[in-house]
């Protein structure tokens, strides 16, 4: 038996099979299946597949896991745009997974041949687990930033929207909870491989057991060490499940209505100009009829993204109709409209519209979607796929306004935090909402392009976790669904059936302050990143000092 064989790993074909199974389980943990609990075996089998592999095999195994997860997870992208954008985005996400696999293999394999760690097996297992959890978080952070602003979708934290760990996100944030889930899965994997390594070393008689180390010297303890590690991970998860949400102080309540027009508002829907606006006017009139029949009222009405179509400020008839509704409701209406700018660019905007003569509030989307709302490197991509690139005709620009605006209501002036569509998936948006003292979040979206696929349910899951993380009630309102009003603890206060014209009304708290997640979230993400960097450094240094057979 050679020395390299004392660094155990599973065979390549078994590893590839496990990676594919793990990727599929990660997808099953998200809506619409929403089997939150399968995220744990999903992550675990991916890590088993990668653990202490030769580094280029690690990249291949990581790519297999990434493909098995991402290709079904965002298959909704093919509904209107076909396979090319789907393959492009999947390809990019698979590259990040392959890089994760490469670095996870390098780190765990390098640590496994680092002499001072090998002589301290529990320290070795702990260091490997922390490093790999840090690498998982680092992959999520990088994919959420690069390129073109990133795509922070499909994170481990998102699987827990309807799971028992959801409340803990208000304490540790998105990166923190993703890291803890990865760590809980990595610890038993690390201990299992550590015990296999010791057995191989003893069989090869390459070194004597370290005196006084019970894990090495006692076969019974060694046999049950993986079970003890699994129990420790389970205890961590139970502890996280028992943590209540970090509640913030409330200064009152707001009675909010949200209108789902069930409009033909997709890119290629056949509709007349003004049809989407008319759908929401009609649904709002129906809402007001019902409220007036009951002698009830609301403080604010929220419409979805793009509900007022193009250049609402220049639409005199549309303005008159909305102002009439606002007067009738005695409440401002928060609408969505594409707005032209003086420099010839456009923004995807939210306008707060009240009675005639009132100055409207405005927020412009911070994170326009590349290849959908603007075309980066247009000439380059036009040469590759001219027909698809030509579909993106307007160049939306990122907003420069605060995402928090004052909304004057019968309940007083409310600081409303705004997120348009994919704004809600970006951590920085949550930071800005809290920094600028939002008391409630209005998350407007238009999911019509994705039909009856999982996309809207996945987005609502992210919005639900964002409500818990920020400690604020969140109104997720779509043109077609899925629409819901979410309390600060993540529970539904109201919900609408998708693809129906309807409205929901709920009393939501107005809160102030920062949760621990928002106060310390960036520091927690940095700590996970440091774990990753330290693990890479130790692993790479060990492999560089060892023969080539360790690296191939």
Task: Output the 3-class SS for 388-429.
Answer: HHHHCCCCECCCCCCCEEEEEECCEEEEEEEEEHHHHHCHHH
pLDDT at 392: 82
DSSP string of 32-50? TT--GGGHHHHHHHHHHHH
The b/e string for 25-59 (b: 16+ C-beta within 10 A; e otherwise) is bbbbbbbeebbbebbbebbbbbbbbbbbbbbebbb
Which pTM was predicted? 0.95
Among the listed residues 519, 535, 416, 470, the one whose alpha carbon sits nearest the alpha carbon of residue 170: 470
E strand or H helix at 364, and its extent?
A: strand 361-364
The answer for 476, left when phi > 0, alpha when psi is -120 to 50, beta otherwise, is beta
Per the CB < 8 A criterion, the answer to whether 154 and 93 are in contact is yes
Pairing of strands 404-409, 412-420: antiparallel
pLDDT at 549: 58
Q: At what angle do helices 83-112 and 39-50 cross, to 10 degrees?
A: 60
Question: What is the rounded CA–CA span in Å between residue 183 and residue 380?
Answer: 41
Give, for all 552 residues of the chain, the pLDDT tens digit: 344 456 899 999 999 999 999 999 999 999 989 999 999 999 999 999 999 999 999 999 999 999 999 999 999 999 877 899 999 999 999 999 999 999 999 999 999 999 899 889 999 999 999 999 999 999 999 999 999 999 999 999 999 999 999 999 999 999 999 999 999 999 999 999 998 877 666 555 444 444 444 455 566 667 788 999 999 999 999 999 999 999 999 999 999 999 999 999 987 788 889 999 999 999 999 999 999 999 999 999 999 999 999 999 999 999 999 999 999 999 999 999 999 988 888 999 999 999 876 778 999 999 999 988 999 998 888 888 888 888 888 889 999 999 999 999 998 999 999 999 999 999 999 999 999 999 999 999 999 999 999 999 999 999 999 999 999 999 999 999 899 999 999 999 999 999 999 999 999 999 999 999 999 999 999 999 999 999 999 999 999 987 665 555
First to last CA, the chain: 18
435 Cβ contact list (under 8 Å, min separation 6)? none
Question: What is the rounded CA–CA span in Å between residue 218 and residue 472?
Answer: 52
- How many Cβ atoms sit within 10 Å of the Cβ of residue 252? 11
pLDDT at 53: 97
How far from the centroid of its chain's Cα atoms is residue 133's Cα?
Answer: 17
Tokens (6 digits) for 375: 């075309």
Give the length of the chain.
Answer: 552
Question: What is the rounded CA–CA span in Å between residue 161 and residue 232?
Answer: 23
């Amino acid at each position: 038996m050679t020395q390299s064989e004392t660094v155990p790993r599973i065979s390549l074909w078994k590893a590839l099979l496990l990676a594919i199974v793990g990727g599929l389980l990660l997808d099953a943990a998200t809506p619409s299946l929403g089997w939150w609990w399968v995220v744990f075996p999903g992550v675990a089998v991916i890590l088993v597949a990668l653990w202490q592999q030769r580094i280029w095999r690690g990249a291949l195994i990581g790519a297999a896991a990434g493909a098995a997860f991402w290709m079904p997870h965002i298959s909704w992208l093919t509904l209107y745009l076909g396979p090319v954008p789907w393959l492009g985005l999947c390809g990019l996400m698979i590259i990040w997974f392959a890089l994760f696999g490469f670095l996870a293999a390098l780190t765990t394999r390098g640590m496994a041949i680092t002499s001072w760690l090998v002589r301290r097996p529990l320290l070795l297992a702990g260091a490997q687990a922390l490093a790999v959890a840090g690498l998982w978080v680092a992959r999520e952070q990088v994919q959420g930033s690069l390129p073109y602003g990133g795509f922070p979708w499909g994170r481990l934290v998102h699987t827990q929207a309807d799971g028992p760990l959801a409340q803990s996100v208000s304490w540790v944030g998105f990166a923190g909870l993703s890291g803890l889930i990865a760590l809980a899965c990595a610890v038993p994997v690390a201990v299992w491989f550590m015990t296999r390594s010791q057995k191989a070393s003893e069989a090869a008689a390459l070194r004597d057991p370290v005196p006084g180390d019970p894990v090495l010297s006692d076969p019974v303890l060694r046999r049950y060490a993986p079970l003890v590690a699994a129990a420790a991970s389970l205890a961590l998860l139970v502890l996280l499940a028992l943590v209540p949400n970090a509640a913030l102080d409330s200064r009152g309540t707001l009675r909010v209505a949200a209108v789902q027009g069930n409009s033909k508002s997709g890119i290629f829907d056949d509709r007349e100009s003004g049809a989407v606006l008319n759908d929401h006017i009609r649904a709002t009139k129906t809402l007001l009829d019902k409220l007036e029949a009951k002698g009830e009222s609301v403080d604010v009405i929220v419409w979805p993204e793009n509900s007022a179509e193009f250049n609402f400020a220049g639409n005199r008839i549309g303005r008159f109709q909305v102002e009439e509704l606002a007067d009738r409701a005695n409440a401002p209406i928060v609408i969505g409209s594409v707005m032209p700018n003086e420099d010839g660019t456009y923004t995807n905007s939210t306008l707060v519209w009240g009675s005639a003569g009132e100055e409207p509030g405005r927020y412009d989307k911070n994170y326009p979607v590349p290849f959908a709302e603007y075309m980066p490197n247009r000439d380059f991509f036009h040469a590759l796929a001219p027909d698809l690139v030509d579909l993106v005709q307007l160049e939306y620009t990122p907003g420069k306004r605060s995402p928090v605006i004052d909304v004057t209501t019968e309940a007083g002036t409310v600081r409303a935090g705004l997120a348009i569509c994919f704004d809600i998936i970006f951590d920085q948006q949550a930071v800005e909402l809290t920094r600028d003292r939002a008391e409630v979040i209005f998350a407007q979206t238009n999911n019509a392009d994705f039909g009856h696929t999982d996309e809207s349910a996945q987005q609502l899951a992210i919005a639900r976790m964002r409500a818990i993380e920020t400690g604020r009630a969140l109104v997720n309102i779509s043109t077609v669904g899925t629409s819901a009003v979410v309390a600060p603890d993540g529970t539904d206060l109201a919900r609408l059936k998708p693809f129906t014209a309807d409205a929901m009304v709920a009393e939501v708290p107005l809160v102030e302050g920062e949760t621990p997640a928002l106060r310390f979230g960036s520091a927690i993400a940095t700590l996970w990143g440091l774990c990753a960097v330290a693990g890479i450094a130790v692993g790479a240094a060990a492999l560089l000092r060892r023969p080539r057979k360790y690296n191939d």
